[in-house]
Structure 1
């Protein structure tokens, strides 16, 4: 017999995510809105897959990240 898991509400989920990623080093993208969505940038050592339809801005996003890294 399995034990039911408790359900997390939005505030509980936010707390769990911040606890998990709290001590991890972050790499800022230089794109303010993206860094906010990623809670401070990419996690160091992670691989990131950017997917989308043709013309959605995948290459532009990658180039902007590279340009910000050079500056």
Structure 2
């Protein structure tokens, strides 16, 4: 298994983006909001989480040991 060291800010950014991604998915499958609002907010959070996860993943996995 490969080991990677992260700084605290990097770890916080990864956690925040994963949280947004999860919240977006949760809103997409929830029944607490109107369907239009749920889709708009859910898709926005999902896409923000996805878009911000890709550069972070490239930063973490692109490091040379």
The reply to whether TM is greater than 0.5 is no
TM-score by length of 1: 0.31
More helix by share: 2
TM-score by length of 2: 0.33
Q: Which has the higher contact order (CA 8 A, sep 6+)?
A: 2
